Chains A and B, each alone.
Chain A
């Protein structure tokens, strides 16, 4: 990284910083149980759950830290937390 005068940075730095490796658990979305409420996208602290279609929510595992808030808040219990292999 070069030294920018004034210690400036351009937007997008957090995209380079893939935080997914911290996970112990990862979320698995069960489409059958999904009500399509979208709470998971709102609650995700990383903002890494994308709406791909109706009742189709996909977490970006490059950034998901496995906190499990989505699974905790999901009203249809449609998100399971599975243990990562390490």
Chain B
């Protein structure tokens, strides 16, 4: 099974990470790459859980594909919630002091930094965010 369909609620995060982790085990992913993938997956699933259907609860699908040569993990998050492109948000200014820092925007910023490629698509009423990382 390479797809998990799950209610988009934040308490399902451990199940999402376990599902992705199982695929990472199969390709012998390093601890460091696994960490980065977990951070990215947490940010994306948290966003969907918090905003896609708010205040209703909807469903999310997580699809994992392993591409070969070089081994690349491709994870797609799909929801039918409100159209939202997280990549359109400007990056936070990481050179500001603690006092000047705003509390938001770091999650998707780290996702972009930690993955080799992040792609957003809105198709047939679905938000599709795809993360790619060569491991």
A and B found bound together: no
